[in-house]
Amino acid sequence: MAACRFFDNRGVARARNAGLGNSTLLREYVTYLRVEKGLRPLSCEAYESDLLQFAEYLEKQSSTLLEATQVLITGFLEHLAKHSVESRSAARKLSCLRGFYRWLLIDKRIHRDPTLNLESPATWKVLPKSLAVTEVNSMLERAAVAADHPQADAIALRDRAILELLYAAGLRVSELTGLNVADLSLDAGRALVRGKGDKERIVPLGRASIDAIEQYLKNGRPALEKKPSPRLFLSARGVPLSRGWVWHLVKHSEHAASPHMLRHSCATHMVERGADLRTVQTLLGHADIATTQVYTHLALGRLKAVHREHHPRAKRVVV
């Protein structure tokens, strides 16, 4: 009995030490993401959440983050599938693990990356949902209608400018809420955007979005600004808009869309009209062309249509 108790206590102590080791490792990695990679707090929280979930799975398997093997990571992915986690979410978690173990390898804390040669879930390349052009136009028209509010006209102009930017420039929500008035160059038809990792890029603005922003700056924003603020979009109380508020605005629109759906709609409609993937990658701020390749089949569809229309050998000859 004493031997059994000793074994149990040792097992409990090992689990406790493993938990402490994982926590320390996660804190160091999140600090690395925030300080060296320059990721935003919400991105850091998402990475930490995914890694915590994996660490909890490992503890049940009597393992730790440093001891994880390819077999354990595969088991984790299978565990996610059994619990009906969508393949896109599972692929995101695997991407998070790849970055984590690459960091450990570079820091010489492990000798082999256990995520090497692991395939992402098969449906990782599924095209994100997007709206039809008519649906986007309908959403924009409804946003321009003033609501029952003392600052209704100003709010309507602001909402129209927000939706125009999300769709026309393909912005992320964090990029939109982080825009300053000084980031706009409307005469040149462009804006300076800060994306993931505080990477800056220049995005072009179409005529419709420029007109919407000009109307908002002239007749909307002055009515909302209670005290000087550098931010472009302000609430009715005069404070910068939050990410959650923008999600609420789009979610409660006629088509119950999401800000990211407008971003995907931007990319989808560009590719359908002949834009190449490199251009779309630059506009959206994707660090890797592989992220943009979910739109590949649209580009191929466009290529086939042009080929059928213009190539002399593409048309069947009726005898």
Active site residue: 93, 158, 172, 264, which one?
A: 172
Burial of 312 (0-12, 13-18, 19+ CB in 10 A): exposed
List C-alpha distances in Å: 245 to 146, 231, 235. Answer: 18, 15, 9
Listed in sequence order, the DSSP H helices in the chain are 2-35, 41-60, 70-82, 87-106, 133-143, 152-168, 173-177, 207-215, 221-224, 243-251, 259-272, 277-284, 289-292, 296-310
**Could you tell me if residue 83 is left (phi over 0), alpha (psi between -120 and 50 degrees) or otherwise beta?**
alpha
Query: How far are the Cα atoms of 54, 81, 102, 312 from residue 111, in angstroms, in the given order?
Result: 20, 29, 10, 58
SS (H, E, C) 245-256: HHHHHHHCCCCC
Active-site residue, from 29, 101, 216, 295: 295
Distance in angstroms (rounded) separating the CA atoms of residues 155 and 212: 12
Q: Is 196 one of the catalytic residues?
A: yes
- Identify the active-site residue in 37, 79, 88, 196: 196
> Which of these is catalytic: 93, 158, 160, 263?
263
- 311 catalytic, yes or no? no
Q: 131 near 255, Cβ under 8 Å?
A: yes
269 classed as catalytic: no
The active-site residue out of 92, 98, 260, 302 is 260
Active-site residue, from 88, 98, 255, 286? 286
Among this protein's residues, is 295 annotated catalytic? yes
Residues involved in catalysis: 172, 196, 260, 263, 286, 295
